[in-house]
Amino acid sequence: MRASYLLTSLEISDRGDDSIYLLNPKIVTEDGEWEAWLFANWIPGAIRYRSFWDLMQAEYKNFLDSLNDPAPER
């Protein structure tokens, strides 16, 4: 990841829950998909995905996994 890519990245989310989604037009797949990034306060740096589709698939899997996690003990 190059910090200079942040100058041309496209923010596609609001800054909620201390995280943000960005699309990077400098890295493009053969299909024309821009690379996607997830920045969050609990992640050192960013998680990079080949495309927005891959990012959303990972987020959906995380959501489903969270539904299966047992409730925290109080």
Structure confidence at residue 64 (pLDDT): 92
What does the DSSP assignment read for 1-51?
--GGGGGT-EE-S---TTEEEEEEEEEE-TTSPEEEEEEETTSSSEEEESS
pLDDT of residue 5: 87
Residue 72 has pLDDT above 70, yes or no: no
Contact residues for 22 (Cβ-Cβ < 8 A; gap 6+): 6, 9, 10, 11, 12, 36, 37, 39, 46
Closest CA to 54 of 36, 27, 66: 36
Of residues 36 and 7, the one with the higher pLDDT is: 36
Band (1; pLDDT cuts 50, 70, 90): low
